[in-house]
Amino acid sequence: MDKRGNLLDVRQLRVIFHTYRGLIKALNGVDLWMDKQERLGIVGETGCGKSVTAQAMMRLIEEPGKITEGEVWFENRDLLKLSEDEMTKIRGREISMIFQEPKSSLNPVFKSGFQIKETLLNAKKATPANAEEEVEKILGYVGMDASRVKNMYPHELSGGMAQRVMIAMALATQPKLLIADEPTSALDVTIQAQILELLSDLTQKMGNAVMMITHDMGIVAEFCDRVVVMYAGNAVEVAPTKELFQNPIHPYTQGLLRAVPRVGRPGELKAIPGTVPDLVDPPEGCRFHPRCDYAFDQCKNVLPPLLEISAHHYVSCYLCQKDGCPSAKKAGEEPW
């Protein structure tokens, strides 16, 4: 198999959900990959499939959802073909996840210290004899008063404190891959900056790879080495962060960046016309074509493959094959 990442390689991942309205085609053949110690950002509008991609990778999709196709290679193992017992040994040990709402992810009836201790014991990263000492050490790593916080219940924690406890639990097992699903979405701006700085420092020291799921392009620019842009269940552009901001290729990526306020550049923000498609009845071909100024007949019939159009820059767009990519550079626009 042609491996594109030496840690993770997701190929043609498809997920559906059975609902009373019909069959939701949530993921439509997602491709992404990661190297060891890399920071990958997954960005896109709400409902584009960012979180579903992460949950499918972790085999957390349950009825009425179903993974119908694809491969998830993690260190030369296809996670979708492992038994549930084998997968249980990977979750929380080799791959950890920080969920969007920290307080809803913590058990309300157990103290914070107990929950971290259970994580350590289950992952065999501590023994019953030294577990308490390890809990205090880990809480210290995330900048908390361990003697106080370990005896607090989740409802006694502020949003920032709860997120730090979740980070402590996720990193306690020293995973090779940390998935952070909108880790700062429920926090105010000051606390967001603190959490991002904490994540950056800790993962750099521990050598973890990080998959950062977000809708915030500012977080992507600050934190990530490389970016996957998703739209309606597809990865439409993959590029190094600096390259993506300086030369966005896919019309959707360009639209996202035009909608971001820029300091020193007054004027009305440009919205992407139209609405996100209904995934019960999504458009044929490229799912962005009803909102795209460049769409032509082929876009409406067949989904364009994700192709490398320059070094490490991949785009799912027929324009790159037909007349050359409609890049910001060719349009004479300034870099974002």
Average pLDDT estimate for 312-334:
71
Rounded to 5 degrees, what angle do the CA atoms 302, 307, 312 make? 155
- In tens, the pLDDT along 252-285 reads 999 999 888 777 666 677 888 889 999 999 999 9
Count of structural domains, the chain: 2
Q: Would you say residue 39 lies in a domain?
A: yes
Q: Would you say residue 278 lies in a domain?
A: no
Question: Which domain, by its residues, includes 312?
Answer: 1-94+179-269+303-336
38 and 51 together in one domain: yes
Task: Please tell me the predicted confidence (pLDDT) of residue 335.
Answer: 52
What is the pLDDT confidence band of residue 1, given thresholds at 50, 70 and 90? very low
19 and 86 together in one domain: yes
Global pTM?
Answer: 0.91
Domain termination site, one of 174, 207, 235: 174
Q: Would you say residue 284 lies in a domain?
A: no
242 and 140 together in one domain: no
**Least confident stretch, 110-119, 169-178, 325-334:** 325-334
65 and 151 together in one domain: no
Measured between alpha carbons, how far apart are the two ends of the chain, in Å? 36
81 and 132 together in one domain: no
319 and 336 together in one domain: yes
Task: Please tell me the predicted confidence (pLDDT) of residue 123.
Answer: 84
CATH at residue 36: 3.40.50.300
184 and 85 together in one domain: yes
88 and 228 together in one domain: yes
**Least confident stretch, 109-118, 260-269, 314-323:** 260-269
Residue 158 in this model has a pLDDT that exceeds 50: yes
Residue 112 in this model has a pLDDT that exceeds 60: yes
Task: Please tell me the predicted confidence (pLDDT) of residue 2.
Answer: 52
Task: Please tell me the predicted confidence (pLDDT) of residue 334.
Answer: 57
Average pLDDT estimate for 241-261:
91
232 and 329 together in one domain: yes
Q: Nearest 5°: phi and psi at 260?
A: -90, 125
- In tens, the pLDDT along 49-86 reads 999 999 999 999 999 999 999 999 999 999 999 999 99
Task: Please tell me the predicted confidence (pLDDT) of residue 326.
Answer: 61
Q: What is the percent of the chain where pLDDT is above 70?
A: 93
What's the burial of 330, exposed, middle or buried (CB within 10 Å: 0-12/13-18/19+)? exposed
Average pLDDT estimate for 109-125:
91
Burial 45-67 (b: 16+ CB within 10 A, else e): eeebbbbbbbbbbbbebeeebeb
Are the C-beta atoms of 149 and 166 separated by less than 8 Å? no
Residue 332 in this model has a pLDDT that exceeds 50: no
